[in-house]
Structures are given as C-alpha cells and as structure tokens.
Amino acid sequence: MRHTTLGDRRVSALCLGAMQFGSTTDPDTSLALLDRFVDAGGTFIDTADCYQFWVDGGQGHESETLLGRWRRERGVTDEVVIATKLGAQPTVSETGEKAPEGLSARAVATAAERSRRRLGMDTLDVLYAHCEDPRTPIEETMGAFAELVSQGAVGELGMSNHHTWRLERARAATATHGWPRPRVLQYRYSYLQPRAGVPLLAGGHMHVTPDLLDFVRAEAKDGREHTLVVYTSLLSGAYTRPDRPLEYAYDHPGTSARLAVLDEVAGETGATRNQVVLAWLMDHDPAIVPLVGVSSLAQLDEALEATDLRLSTEQHARLTAVH
C-alpha cells in the first residue's frame, strides 16, 4: 500500500468512499469491504452526513451510522482516518421547501455534533465543508470550524466543491484571525477530462480546474500544503463497463485520444484501465489521493492492486501529454 500525507498524519494513498455503505450497499457487504480495505493497509475512509438521502427510504445518515457500527464492532480507533462532510443535508422549511443545511455557525456546530455521535468519535479526523453556501459569509464558516478545532472536536479541516476564489477567501479569513486553515480539498477528477463549461449530470459535482491546480501549487510554494482528494476517479465504471457509458460532457476528440494511450499503457503494464488511471492519479503533480467507491470485493481488490502499480516516468508523461 502506498502512503501519503494528510495534514500532520500519514494515510493510505487510496481513499475508500463509503457513500453507499449501509444503503445501496447492504450492511454485510459494507462491513466486509471495510475489513478488506483495512487488512490491505488502507487507512483513509470518506463519508458525509448526507449519504444517501436521495435513494428510496434514505434519510442521509446511513453511511456514518454504518461506519460507527463498524468502528464499535471491530474496535477501530485512530489508526483509521475517517473524513466526513457537512452542509449538504437537506432541511424542509415550514413552507415545504427543501434546502441544504448550509454552513452557518449554528449549522456547522449542530451537524458536527451529530456526526461525532453517529461515528462514535470524540474528534472527527477530517471535516469538510461539503458544498458552497452563498447565504453565509465564508468568515462565519471558518470561524465555526476554528471553534470546533479549539474544542478538540475536529482534527483537520477541508473544503469540497468550492470555487477557487472562495478557497482564497477562506485562506485570507483564517490568516487574518489566526484560525486553522483547511488543508484538505475534495473535488471531482479523473484521467478523462470533460469539456469546460459543459454541465455534469451529477448535481453539485465540481470538477478540478487548471485554476485550482495552480492554486494548490502556488500555495505549496508559499509553505501552505494541501491534500487534494478526488472523487468519481473511475467515472462510475465507465472505463471498463459497457453498461456505464460516458456522459455527454466527455463526448469530444480528446476522450478517444486519451483512451487510446490508456490502452497502450495498460497493455504494457498488464494492468486494467482502472488500475492505470488510479496509478496516474497517485503520481500526479500536484499530489492527488484518488477516492474509489466500490460495491464488491472484486472491485475493491482491483483498486487495491493499483497501489502496487508504478508507471514509468515516460508512461506517465505520455498519458498526461494527450489533449
């Protein structure tokens, strides 16, 4: 298993996404997947307080609840880093309108406490602002996050699905007040790239942009490192499954060109497309932690084997050069 740095901690270079655990992936399978991941050296798991409210019968805390059960039953403590998110859980107003809880100071404090109880953790390892909240000043959100850190309720802070200019505003607010800054970022990214400006089918997904990568590199030069975690890293199976076609945003000449080189490298290494994609992400500049969502042990084993795949410098450069 490869490893990387997340804040002041060392974690596996592959992150296991637990979004479906306890809901569309049944509890027994979910527990087996978590056990297999940890047995293989995995130490980084991702969830959110809203997973999965959108499925039939879902309320939005199934994943955290399942992870809390797993931690209790297996005696898991701080050897496994669990990252969760808040801000996207829907609420229903008196008028019947649905809206995300958002990132107000009150919402942050309330949601964080619920996550701590469900996960059975005195200190949440990583807590992300899940999505933007235009109604709340970023300074209020950062202040609420800083309070959680000062209380010992949260270890590392993160931001997910925020425009780069909001990341800079968050950085400025934390610098002004001497608050802890978010050091973990989470966005959508994979080897294949969607056309700029074409909406993705999944609402709320925000893709890594050249601007974001430039921000991360520039911050690192100034001594402010970030860990960049990317979801939908395998495009929901579209690299290998005919029943999972690529969405419209990926329908452009660059996709065919990239797939051709991807198949070349897969043939040279004896690996699958998925494994080459994960290896390419793990060797990315700036550094990236791919997050994988799996629903079977076979899918998980394929991803775990990718952590042993080392692309040559030439292979990585060849993959990267295609546009």
In angstroms, the CA 229 to CA 187 distance is: 7
Domain boundaries, the chain: 3-321
Average pLDDT over residues 95-116: 90
Residues of the chain by 3-state class (helix, strand, coil), percent to 5:
40, 20, 40
Q: Which pair of tokens denotes residue 109?
A: 């404090």
Q: What is the pLDDT of residues 39-69, one digit of tens each?
A: 999 999 999 999 989 888 888 899 999 999 9
Is the N-terminal amide bond of 52 cis, ω within 30° of 0?
A: yes
250 classed as catalytic = no
Q: What is the pLDDT of residues 270-320, one digit of tens each?
A: 999 999 999 999 999 999 999 999 999 999 999 999 999 999 999 999 999
Q: In angstroms, what is the C-alpha Rg of the chain?
A: 19
CATH number corresponding to 3-321: 3.20.20.100
Q: Which pair of tokens denotes residue 35?
A: 């056990």
Q: What is the pLDDT of residues 162-207, one digit of tens each?
A: 999 999 999 999 999 999 999 999 999 999 999 988 999 998 899 9
Please identify which of the residues 51, 187, 189, 231 carries the catalytic annotation: 51
